[in-house]
Amino acid sequence: MNANINKVTDRLREVFPWRTAPAGPNPVDPWAGRRRPGDHPVSILIGDLSPVAFPLELVDIELMGSARRETVVRPTSDVDLLVAFQADQLVLTSFSPRSLLLRVSQALRGVGSDLRIWQGEAVTVSFDAGPDIDVFPALHMRSSSVVHFPRRGRMWTMSAPPVFDRKFLESNTARGNRLITVAKYVKVWNYHSGRPFQTFHLEALIERDVVEIDPRSRVSVHNFFRGALPAGPQFLLVGSPDGIYSDLSYYMSGRARAIAMTALAEAAFLSGRALGHEDRGEYQNANACWRELFGERFPVDPEEIPAGAPDAPQSPDGQKVGYAATPTDEPDVADPDDYDAELTERLAHPQEGRSGSVYEIILPPGFVLTYDEANKRGDLTPDNLVLYARQLLTEGRNDDVRILLEQAVPAFREVFGPDDSRTREAQEVLTLATSQ
């Protein structure tokens, strides 16, 4: 793993200089007073952009995600790497997300065996041996840890993943360095159960709820599963430590929430039955239950296996316990969609866009999920924005419509003109929302 990471980071340091000048002043958010918990700030592109000529200057390169939190489980499919560049306000409002992806992609040519755009958000560098490296380029323009990531299309989204990474590791230290072990157990279960949870969401739930850790880690795993049952679907609600997302379960539909809660209930039953077998000394029956829960890679700490108990397969941290098992699971690598294929093709055939403008807007809660379902490419077009505003209007969410369109209408008027059909339609919906 380290060799692949070093190849990528060495190339980035070779191509891009480190920032030496101080950062520019933080931009003023004119809607800060109206921003509520759950509002998701992004930037909308009105028209196309031509990349501006400015030097990309590094301010941070660091691991993030499971690799940083030391909770990677096998099979390891990829490692996430944050690459942040300093950007002042002018850069953010004149440099498109796809341009940033392409600039970083071009810099990484020839580093691995393959290079592609992943979900319009990262550059994946593949290697013949070892994990892929997912490079997440971002623009840093504030004094905090918040950075702007490309988001599937022509948007920026704000986040601060390292904040949670640090919080998780601090909690692990405070809890006797056992939180990581519990997280690995639960992640193996999630993998074997069809991934009802996204990893970041799942580990945030673990960090929140697994406070007292039993000397037998499996007991704490059972307590985590069991603790979900009294709370019901409310168990799934947890905010991000950076304060940007008030609910990390936003990606879950109603059906997905039901599936996740059912999986947790089944896990609570199976793990409880396994612990009962262990207490009675029925180790073969216990391991049969654990393997039903975790798969044939059942992770058991060697010091916790009583004498005479059957050997256990490979543990999630890669340490061989009992006997070596070769995982047959496929790596968790998403197939590139049409947008990714388009950007990957542009690595070889760069194109110039037309000039345009970028406006930051504040999206109401639930917008990102609804929008992704409606438009796989994630291009936040003016037409789609007005359609979504009409949908909010039918749901009686007039305040959300006003927050959305009071920002968009002036942008439409400036770019398209006051008589353009898109401007008129947006103004019409805004008038309806204000008058009701």
Class of residue 10 by CB neighbours under 10 A (exposed 0-12, middle 13-18, buried 19+)? exposed
pLDDT at 325: 21
Pairing of strands 357-363, 155-159: unpaired
Q: What is the CATH number of domain 2-35+52-159+333-346?
A: 3.30.460
Cβ count within 10 A of residue 210 = 23
Q: Specify the pLDDT at position 311.
A: 30
pLDDT at 234: 92
CA dihedral 215, 221, 225, 227 (to 10 degrees): 30
pTM value is: 0.66
The sign one gets for the Cα dihedral 265, 266, 272, 273 is positive
Residue segments in the chain with a per-residue pLDDT below the cut of 50:
29-31, 40, 42-51, 300-340, 342-344, 346-360, 362, 364-379
Q: Which two tokens stand for residue 384?
A: 């789609």
At 33 the pLDDT is 56
pLDDT digits (tens, 9 = 90+) for 12-65: 999 999 987 766 655 554 445 555 555 545 444 444 444 455 678 898 999 998
